[in-house]
Chains A and B, each alone.
Chain A
Amino acid sequence: MRKYLFQTAALVLAISLVTPLIANSQESILDKVKERGRLVCGVNKELPGFGFLNQDGQWQGFDVDYGRAIAAAVLGDPNKVEFRPLKAPDRFPALQTGEIDVLIRNTTWTLTRDTDLGADFAPPTFYDGQGFMLRKDLGITSLKELAGATVGVTAGSTTELNLADTTRALGIEVESIVFEETETLYQSYDQGRCDVVTSDKSQLVSRRQSLKNPDDHIILDITISKEPLGPVTVHGDNKWNDVVSWVVYATFFAEEHGITQANVNTFETENPEIKRFLGESGDIGAKLGLSKDWARQAIAAVGNYGEIFERNLTPLGLPRGVNKPWTQGGLLYAIPFR
């Protein structure tokens, strides 16, 4: 009898443990992050310039800085963030299951991902395009010449699909080899397993540095796709998506108005929009569910867009290209802070 009682009790316990899961799903991630006192951010760990562990074991990179900016805006401390390294195929499941609060892992915004993958995108932080890297001594300059070549690509990426589309459109056949780990992909390319590697141009530039002889390789002057990369939040949590989006706009806005990491706390202005931005007047912070000085905290933590770019991507030799404020002919355009 006692045995049966135990089984029944265990069952009741199990049910009562499961039931709260149903009720809890309505809470915004913003509240969860505040409650936890820590932001969990999914990043790349194999992409110098965007997300990687540096020699001192510290997370560093463009995407990593955005994670710090969000932590600073929400929690007032850029160090209250935990970075979770994710492989490309694991990133959306991690987001869907709530393992991470925000995904900032050079992720391309596409229609299918926006609808079918349960993802909501914040404004792109980096406008990229897909390119090809190969050995200089092959003497190849156009895609048609790649017929019969072996092309390496990362699994679960838009590049994998773009490659298939492009070769079909050109009517050429290539053999594509799909790797789950970025590391294995570039290692195999270096060893000659594939003739060409295709990915976002920023990634090619970044990974070329770690090849045995970077000078032996060229990146073709051809772009086959648009790759708007930006932070991603889970679908349906508008409050949280707003916070992430406006942190991104804050970095754009700061660059437009010359607000930098150094001068953000002493910035003197009579411009009403900048005053609202810095939390000196109005209540835009409260509208987002954040503190009055959220934008100031974010900029003080990582600087404006230009500073983030120069700190992480300029050393790799990446030009700013279209990733400039709209006032200078670029695509970065902050929505009014009103």
Chain B
Amino acid sequence: MEHNTPTTVSEKIPFWRDVRVLRVLFQVVFLFGVILLLAILYRNMLAGLRGLGLTLNLNFLQNEAGFDISEGIPYEPSDTYLKAFWVGILNTLKVSVIGIVCATLLGLLFGIARLSSNWLIRTIAAIYVECFRNVPLLLQILFWYTAVVAQLPRVRESISLFDGAFINNRGIYLPAPEPTSGLKIWLWFLGAGLILAVILYIVRWRKLEQLDRPGFRAKWALPAFLIVAFCGWFLTPGSPFTLDFPVLQGFNFTGGFSFSPEFSALLIGLSMYTGAFIAEVVRSGIQAVVKGQREAARAVGLKEGQMLRLVVLPQAVPIIVPPLTSQYLNLAKNSSLAVAIGFPELVHVGSTMMNQTGQAIPVFAMVMVSYLIMSLTTSAAMNWYNRRINWLNR
């Protein structure tokens, strides 16, 4: 009886009743089951494709695409499907990046406006947020496209701004800066200005540290840089840039810089919609900073601006960043709604490719992987930023 200690008892338990073994065993069985299920689905897919006389491969990407894409980097119908796909990716990135910047600005503006003590500003911000947040994005994009942008005058009746910019239902045409030979000289001025600015920035920073006072570190550097750049512009023989004006030639305006109606409608739709969500994120972040912090800031004599910059925002930003990341990801993914209005982004190009080649599964997979890479990169960048600001706070 004396050798009947707990350890010897556990030795006697058969393995099929040992919880530690069973725990591992069931996980292995479950994993095996999942793999089996995936294998069956894959086999099923292959069998289905064989029945249709289709094969799975990516060779078609090297073939001539044959269809045209209305905007993006230079591309010809004689280029490959791979190039066409790349044009789609870049168009998605373009609208996503510009959209994220615009949505963030709108969100910040309206988020802060919602907390304003002015009744009118507060109400306007609330109306904006509630209207744009609660209507489906697809409807909003179609609204901007068919009810706003398409209702602009026709090409020949374009709205002209200072005879240089034109607005019509085929887009917004702006003069584009064209570099001249003088650009090189001006770049030297810019370089000199930048060095000067860095020196002044460091000097000012050291001085503030010595005085142990909060202040605007770029207070000297920024004006110095602007003055050098400005003087350089006029000292440069000729001008560093000339303006390329859009001109009505035949059917359309040529030259200059232009936004297509599809791009404009999509950008406005995405920015306004996501901006409304970001406004709420910003508002909740600011409101999450306890009232006592603000009162304490006032008590030590900080001005309103200083209070916001030095006390409230450093505590609000870490709260804002994680939900903001989700909004950025949503914006990028929502850009796929552009198929409804014919902006050639990733899904639009992908669906044309699918239709012309019949390679639905590889193209779908490529589109999914592209979105995954874009989203994971955005998340990683935002997480890095989040860690950095949180580290500074500790």
Q: What residues of B have a CB within 8 angstroms of the CB of A31 in the complex?
A: none
A25 touching B251, Cβ below 8 Å: no
A155 touching B351, Cβ below 8 Å: yes
Q: Which of B43-51, B299-307, B318-326 lies at the interface with chain A?
A: B43-51
Per-residue interface assignment for chain A, residues 225 to 250, with 1 indicating a CB less than 8 Å from any chain B CB and 0 otherwise: 00000000011100000000000000
The verdict on B73 contacting chain A, using a C-beta distance below 8 Å, is no
Q: Which of A4, A19, A177, A191 contacts B40 (CB 8 A)?
A: A19
A155 touching B352, Cβ below 8 Å: yes
A22 touching B66, Cβ below 8 Å: no
Q: How far is the CB of B100 from chain A (nearest CB, A)?
A: 25
Residues A155 and B355 in contact in the complex (CB < 8 Å), given A165-B66, A176-B70: yes
C-alpha gap A214/B99 in the complex (Å): 39
B251 touching A149, Cβ below 8 Å: yes
For A148, A188, A193, A234, which residue has the most chain B Cβ atoms within 10 angstroms?
A193
Q: How far is the CB of B221 from chain A (nearest CB, A)?
A: 45
Residues A96 and B169 in contact in the complex (CB < 8 Å), given A18-B37, A161-B66, A165-B66: no
**Who on chain B is nearest to A195 by CB?**
B251
Q: Which of B268-276, B288-296, B327-335, B336-344 lies at the interface with chain A?
A: B336-344
C-alpha gap A22/B46 in the complex (Å): 10
What size tier do the contact residues of chain B reach? 35 or more
The verdict on A274 contacting chain B, using a C-beta distance below 8 Å, is no
**Who on chain A is nearest to B168 by CB?**
A192
Q: What residues of A have a CB within 8 angstroms of the CB of B43 in the complex?
A: 22
What size tier do the contact residues of chain A reach? 35 or more
B342 touching A179, Cβ below 8 Å: yes
Q: What residues of A have a CB within 8 angstroms of the CB of B348 in the complex?
A: 155, 178, 180
Q: What residues of A have a CB within 8 angstroms of the CB of B154 in the complex?
A: 192
**Who on chain A is nearest to B156 by CB?**
A192
B169 touching A192, Cβ below 8 Å: yes
The verdict on A268 contacting chain B, using a C-beta distance below 8 Å, is no
Q: Which of A19, A164, A176 contacts B66 (CB 8 A)?
A: A164
Residues A164 and B77 in contact in the complex (CB < 8 Å), given A22-B43, A192-B169, A195-B251: yes
The verdict on B250 contacting chain A, using a C-beta distance below 8 Å, is yes
Q: Which of B26-34, B119-127, B187-195, B201-209 lies at the interface with chain A?
A: B26-34
Q: Which of A21, A89, A178 contacts B354 (CB 8 A)?
A: A89
**Who on chain B is nearest to A115 by CB?**
B53
Q: Which of B53, B68, B339, B357 contacts A236 (CB 8 A)?
A: B53
C-alpha gap A115/B359 in the complex (Å): 12
A8 touching B33, Cβ below 8 Å: yes
Give 11 A-B pairs besides A116-B359, A148-B250, A180-B340 with Cβ atoms closer than 8 angstroms: A14-B37, A15-B36, A21-B44, A116-B54, A155-B342, A155-B355, A178-B344, A180-B348, A187-B150, A192-B155, A193-B150
| Complex A-B: 27 CB contacts under 8 Å | A7-B26, A18-B44, A22-B43, A22-B44, A96-B54, A112-B356, A116-B357, A116-B358, A118-B52, A118-B358, A148-B249, A148-B250, A148-B252, A155-B355, A160-B67, A160-B68, A160-B352, A161-B66, A175-B70, A178-B69, A178-B342, A184-B146, A191-B150, A191-B169, A193-B170, A193-B261, A235-B53
